[in-house]
A and B are shown apart, each in its own frame.
Chain A
Amino acid sequence: MTTSAIFRRIVWVSTPLLVLLAAFAFLGISVGSSRLTPADAFQALLGRGPEPDMLTNIIWRIRLPRVILGALVGSTLSLGGLVFQALLRNPLAEPYILGISGGSAVGAIIGILLGFSRVPGVCLTAFSGSMAVLALVVLMGRGGIRLKKDALLLSGVMINAFCSSVITFLLSISQDARIHNILFWLMGDLSLPDLAQAGLLALIVLPCFLLIFRYANVMNLLLMGKEAARTMGVNTGAASLVLLLATSFMVSATVSYCGLLGFVGLVMPHLLRLVLGPDHRVLVPACILGGGAYMILCDILARVLPTQGEMPTGVITAMIGAPLFIYLLKRSRI
């Protein structure tokens, strides 16, 4: 089978991004609040080094899960933003737009107030919250048997706004200790899940990545509008539904673990599109790899920049993401 030009292009784009991801991942493992050097980290990865017990524990069970989680979260959010921007044909679409942020936050807060631990209690309540809201948004966005994109968008925005007020209310009746937990969840927090949980998340989202890649060319066709796509043989109803559900599912799963990390899903697709062009067959792997690398970098900065303690990673993604987005606005014609 002769390799097609597009396949070669995908490899040419993905390879440097993969290298970047690996580099940032190693950097992420080498950096932390205890004084371990990158050389120590390298030794630990190979399974030997000074004080193996403590070192290995720190590298493998504290830093590595965090890095893996960062990569998964960054990939999922970037890919989620890409898919929603294509599905809704709206450059301001981002993965939380259909109410996932509101629903999962309300679910998580209820879980925290009920005293559940993060895993599995709060994860499950957050996930149920976002799935419930998604069902509501889809029901509200139906026009007959088809999904109307504007109706979906509006429903999502309204539900997010409503959930915001619910969140504010819940915060106002919460007591001290719980408020801390809630705020950390809302700001996004990569530190809590351990290696097994990170692995579980990988098992959940990786099939979604593959499924979305299978629909990458369909997304290209959908950009021309449903009518034109249909005349080119695309089953637009089924395709839209599959993309919507797969993306919402993986974003909800990610948010349930790590809270609401913002701006990644909005900025990464635009940045990559500016550099690589609008072909989704290239953008899907690019978002997965590039988004993952970006999030690991933000997490490294969140751990390294403050002199005391660490900043919430969500603050870094916003502080980098917002100016970056403004720059992209000026560069391209969004």
Chain B
Amino acid sequence: MPGPRVLITAALVSLMLMMPGPLIPCPDAEDRVLQDPAGRSVRVPADPRRVVALAPSVTEIVFALKQAHRLVGATRFSDYPAEAEQIPKVGSYVRLDLEKITALAPDLCIAVKDGNPVDVVMRLEALNIPVYAVDPRSLDTVMTAIRAVGELLNAPEAAASMVGEMQRRISRVRRLAATAETRPGVFFQIGVNPIVSAGTPTFIHELIIAAGGRNLAAGDIPYPRFSREEVLMTAPDILIITSMARGGLFEKVKREWMAWSDMPAVRNRRVHILDSDVLDRPGPRMVDGLEQLFGIIHPGLGNGE
């Protein structure tokens, strides 16, 4: 009995047979094969002209290296510097828009390991778009990422000098912090409800330590939850609340804490609100964040920058 199902099957089979092979430009003799920080071997063009940044931190790095003219696409929250807003958006870094990326005909995509979903990266590669993954997680790995991107985009000198400058500033902070008598206990509040802080395996922990503080949420859990009592029990000398510069809500949170006058941080009026962009995004501005933190933790020991 002939039926619609047979027709559908036939159509599907013929579609599959007609599927074209990869049609993106063939590999160039000029291409280089590089090992990216995620350990993958990637074939990248010698001079990438159409780059898509798959995370805001990558966009920042590219701009900082003055290679923004190569960028043809970036993810949605790439908002720093302001010029980045003009670049065509390709979805968010957890939900990349495959079609938009392909439509831009990129010759290179720069991804973030552990941020971008693996499947999308694989599909991009199946479409013969090279994807180079950096892994900016900590102070050191951000430097590595900056150097890697510099090499990718043919700006190794700019990368080297940027990294050198950052390292100088970090060493300065570390040096000054080492002269401090005490390491104040810092409670770094990320979430409002529930209260979430940053544990040892995080970037923020590294910054706190480098800035001469003691992270009261140190431990194996990356983002541990605290109840209000538990926070009070840690008796933080300094309480830092991060915000997205949205004012309102976080001022309210600060006022709520100020009611607990037993807490050393409240008694000594050391409850601060910090712009989270600088601290959340492991990128070129992280040293600014470090210096800010240092200024909060050890205000007397010379300024940060």
Contacts and interface: CB of A to CB of B under 8 A. Distances in A.
Contacts of B126: 61, 194
A73 interface: no
B76 to A, nearest CB: 7
Interface of A is mostly: helix
B103 A119 contact: no
B99 A34 contact: yes
A58 B99 contact: yes
B23 interface: yes
A32 to B, nearest CB: 5
A117 B4 contact: no
A308 B76 contact: yes
B23 A53 contact: yes
Nearest to B25: A53
B100 A33 contact: yes
Interface in A95-153: 117-119
Interface string A17-57: 11000000000000011111000000000010001111011
Interface string A188-228: 00011011100100100010011001000000000000000
A117 B119 contact: yes
Interface in B70-119: 76, 89, 91-92, 94-95, 97-100, 102-103, 105, 114-115, 117-119
A33 B99 contact: yes
Contact of B123 (A36, A194, A202): A194
A184 B95 contact: yes
A232 interface: no
B100 A34 contact: yes
B4 A63 contact: no
B5 to A, nearest CB: 6
Given A14-B3, A35-B103, A62-B102, A68 B24 contact: no
Contacts of B20: 47, 56, 60
A210 B119 contact: no
Nearest to B126: A194
Interface stretch (B7-15, B158-166, B237-245, B248-256): B7-15
A210 B103 contact: no
Interface string A289-323: 10000000000000000001110000000000000
Nearest to A184: B95
A293 B76 CA distance: 32
A156 interface: no
Counting chain A CB atoms within 10 Å of each CB, the highest count among B3, B89, B99 belongs to: B99
A310 B122 CA distance: 21
B122 A117 contact: yes
B5 A210 contact: yes
A228 B24 CA distance: 63
B15 A64 contact: yes
B264 interface: no
A53 B16 CA distance: 18
Contacts of A51: 105
29 contacts: A14-B3, A15-B4, A17-B4, A18-B4, A33-B99, A33-B100, A35-B103, A47-B20, A52-B23, A53-B25, A56-B20, A56-B23, A57-B23, A61-B19, A62-B102, A63-B99, A64-B15, A68-B12, A117-B118, A118-B119, A119-B119, A184-B94, A192-B120, A195-B19, A206-B9, A285-B3, A288-B5, A309-B97, A310-B95
Given A52-B23, A68-B15, 7 more contacts: A17-B4, A34-B100, A57-B23, A177-B94, A180-B95, A209-B5, A310-B95
Interface of B: 1, 3-5, 7-9, 12, 15-16, 18-20, 23-25, 76, 89, 91-92, 94-95, 97-100, 102-103, 105, 114-115, 117-120, 122-123, 126-127, 222-223
Closest 10 CB pairs of A and B: A34-B103, A53-B23, A180-B94, A118-B119, A117-B118, A14-B4, A33-B99, A199-B16, A32-B99, A33-B100
